[in-house]
Structure 1
Amino acid sequence: MLVRDAMSTVVLTIGPTHTLRQAATLMSARRVGAAVVLDPDGTGIGILTERDILNSVGLGEDPDSERAHAHTTTDVVFAAPTWTLDDAAHAMSRGGFRHLIVLERDEPVGIVSVRDIIRCWAPVRERPAATAQVPA
């Protein structure tokens, strides 16, 4: 199975000056765990995750004044729609992250998450439970 088969095409895109509260509100409304941060004048394409927001709030930072750019991961590993889910899982495991931005022709076309991969793999890997033997 390929990344294109598992990825979410609901891509929330925000700017670097959005506050963390604005980002969290948009992420919650769209029911997504990450936002693509587009900064054409700066770092290009980055990602802001729910964990980034949680870490900031946990440090006592104000989500109404903290800006996305200060919490965005800019050293991003991108996936291609033609990657296998194994390729995506290995990239996530090596990098220690749970989301990959999917690029096609240098444009974000989706996000694939660990949850997406598990959702696709679970039905394939489920095996019928063996019938339990009851001793006589």
Structure 2
Amino acid sequence: MLVRDAMSTVVLTIGPAHTLRQAARLMSARQVGAAVVLDPDTCGLGILTERDVLNAIGAGLDPDREHAHAHTTTDVVFAAPQWTLEEAAGAMLHGRFRHLVVCDGAELVGIVSVRDIVDCWAPVQAAVPA
């Protein structure tokens, strides 16, 4: 099975000026654990995860004053749609993260999470006799 089969093609994107509270509200409303941060000024791409928001709040930072750009991971590992789920899971394990931004060339085409991979693998594993 390939990343394109598991990924979500509807990606929550936010700008670097979004506050952490705004980002958290959008992630909560969409029931997702990450937002892709697009910075039109630098043509940059990053990711803000629920863990980033949690760490900021846990450190006593004000979610209404803190902006996404200060908490965005810009050293992003990108997956290609034609990667296998094993390759994606290996990249996640190696990098110790739970989301991969999926790009086809320079185009953002999706995001895949550990949950997406488990959802694909679980029915296969359930069908294997013990």
Q: TM-score, normalised by structure 1?
A: 0.91
5+ long unaligned stretches in structure 2: none
Q: How far apart are the structure 1 equivalents of 2:114 and 2:98?
A: 5
- One-letter amino acid of the structure 1 residue matched with residue 90 of structure 2: H
Q: How far apart are the structure 2 equivalents of 1:107 and 1:12?
A: 15
5+ long unaligned stretches in structure 1: 130-136
For residues 84-123 of structure 1, what are the structure 2 equivalents within 5 Å? 84-123=84-123
Instruction: Indicate the percent of aligned positions where both proteins have the same amino acid.
Output: 76
Q: How far apart are the structure 2 equivalents of 1:42 and 1:9?
A: 24
- Give the structure 2 partner of residue 35 of structure 1: 35
Q: How far apart are the structure 1 equivalents of 2:85 and 2:42?
A: 31
CA shift for structure 1 position 109: 1.1
Report the 3-state secondary structure (helix = DSSP H, G, I; strand = E; otherwise coil) of the residue aligned with 2:22: helix
- One-letter amino acid of the structure 1 residue matched with residue 125 of structure 2: R
CA shift for structure 1 position 35: 0.3
Report the 3-state secondary structure (helix = DSSP H, G, I; strand = E; otherwise coil) of the residue aligned with 2:82: coil
Shifted more, 78-87 versus 119-128: the winner is 119-128
For residues 59-70 of structure 1, what are the structure 2 equivalents within 5 Å? 59-70=59-70
Tell me: CA distance 1:101–1:9, structure 2 relative to 1, closer, same or farther (3 Å): same
Q: How far apart are the structure 2 equivalents of 1:62 and 1:16?
A: 16
Q: How many residues align?
A: 129
